[in-house]
Amino acid sequence: MKPSVSFLSKELLERIVSEARDVLADVGVEVHNNDVIALLSDHGARVDTAKNRVFLPGDLIDRALSTAPRSFKLYDALGQETHDFASDQTYFTPGSAAIYVLDSDTGKMRASTTDDYVKYARIISQLPYIASQSTSMVPSDVPERISDSYRLYLSLISGCKPVVTGAFTIEAFEVMKDLQLIVRGSGDALRARPLTVFSCCPTAPLKWSDVTSQNVVDCARYSIPVEYISMPLSGFVAPVTIVGSLVQHTAETLSGVVISQLTNPGAPALYGGSPAIFDVRYETTPMGAVETMMIDCAYSEIGHYLGLPTQAYISLSDAKQLDAQAGLESSLGATLATLAGINEVSGPGMLDFESCFSLEKLVVDNEICGMMQRLGQGIVPRDDFPAVPHFQELLAEQHLLISEHTRRHLRTEHYFPGPVIDRANRSRWHEEGATTLRERASREVQRLLSEYEPYDLADEMRGELGQRMTSEAQRWDMDRLPHEEL
């Protein structure tokens, strides 16, 4: 049995969904994109043109839900299957789009650069418990207009894992799609083997901007998976209660499902989000708040009830350093997410309200993810019954260290953390330098960087990716991209 946690009774869950449907029908969503409004209106939604409000009737939502895929897969850059978003299997991906990095040498936050990104991409490709890359940082040393696409490019040339990403503008989608077409070879091949997931955010409350709604449509056209990232901020631009925030999250996310499915029935998507309570003392949106995590887990329950795979920004921290707060918030989130069966968990590596990335934190979080993989496997009997022979053996031999049963199951039953987790006895810990977590993490970062090996991306493809990215950079007056100097 997989261990699980549940926050909503069936009755409460169904009430939340039905209230959200009422909200969509009676209050509607504001859409700032004429094509999307036309699409919705063509399919029977009522439109208040003066206010850009679209009212979504229940049958439209039902129709969208009936074509939305119950599961879908991701494949790495070489075409191998890496993710099967189905049932309650949990995968981890780093947090995304930080604008700062916690500098490994100085321990201070600074704007992230191409150099940081390349290091990140080399590390993530070697971390065993984080199944995909995300475009985790925004490099500040390239023109803003390519700061989204360039991340995807750097990821694709550095590591094989699929990429969770997103466009900052409508135009950027074009090049980000082209890069994927180059890797896969054709639109059909990309459709058959999705390589990325695009984050698309409705604006709280109940609004779709021009950019993000167009991103949803463009992704659906190419069957590029999206994750709808609804962000009710409880007590500010959403009701203060968890239930009220869930109603809003459900309504915003369902409106995303409708836009995708009307554009292309069957287009893959994750029922996702990045909600947060609003901390009225500091005017911040704490991702490490336990209530934030409760909203995440509960909407994932709703997503699963609706039959859709889910995603959440959970298992990240608001701390500014790799400290105990960072550890406790990240692991509390990761634990709850695993128990709630959230399918895609975005967070590892992230600090400071999704603004600052740390490579050291990433390798520590990889350990959390490893532990979560074990946690998720739960407790299952492994040749344990009948029990009597095991105890007869134990009494006869005085230990089970070399018993057949131990040798068979040791490595599946026990998870062995890497060198960042300290399990030495005190003397050995002293002897090995009495290191702190930060020191061990920083050592691990260095080790991974020195052991990095490029993956088997065909030279020809590498060249084509480079050409496409360079021509995009030239449009914005950059002739030579910074990674070429590294």
* Interacting residues with ligand B12 (CB under 6 A): 96-99, 138, 166-168, 199-201, 203-204, 209, 211-212, 231, 283, 285, 353-355
Residue 96 site contact among other proteins, ligand B12, none (CB < 5 to 8 Å, cut-off depends on kind): ligand B12
Q: How far is the CB of 99 from other proteins (least distance, A)?
A: 5
Q: How far is the CB of 135 from ligand B12 (least distance, A)?
A: 9
Closer to other proteins by CB, 282 or 385: give it. 282
Closer to ligand B12 by CB, 166 or 349: give it. 166
Residue 340 site contact among ligand B12, other proteins, none (CB < 5 to 8 Å, cut-off depends on kind): none
Residue 98 site contact among other proteins, ligand B12, none (CB < 5 to 8 Å, cut-off depends on kind): ligand B12
Closer to ligand B12 by CB, 32 or 409: give it. 32
Two tokens, residue 355: 């603004």
Q: How far is the CB of 231 from ligand B12 (least distance, A)?
A: 5
Q: CB-based burial of residue 296 (10 Å sphere; 0-12 exposed, 13-18 middle, 19+ buried)?
A: buried
Q: What does the binding site for other proteins look like in residue numbers (CB under 8 A)?
A: 99, 138, 140, 144-145, 147-148, 168-169, 203, 209, 211, 233, 236-237, 280-283, 353, 355
Q: How far is the CB of 200 from ligand B12 (least distance, A)?
A: 6
Closer to ligand B12 by CB, 37 or 231: give it. 231
Give the span between the Cα atoms of 215 and 223, in whole angstroms: 12
Closer to other proteins by CB, 281 or 426: give it. 281
Give the span between the Cα atoms of 191 and 184, in whole angstroms: 9
Give the span between the Cα atoms of 348 and 334, in whole angstroms: 9
Q: CB-based burial of residue 11 (10 Å sphere; 0-12 exposed, 13-18 middle, 19+ buried)?
A: exposed
Q: How far is the CB of 283 from other proteins (least distance, A)?
A: 6
Residue 140 site contact among ligand B12, other proteins, none (CB < 5 to 8 Å, cut-off depends on kind): other proteins
Distances (CA, A) of 42 to 68, 253, 301, 465: 19, 20, 32, 38
Q: How far is the CB of 241 from other proteins (least distance, A)?
A: 14
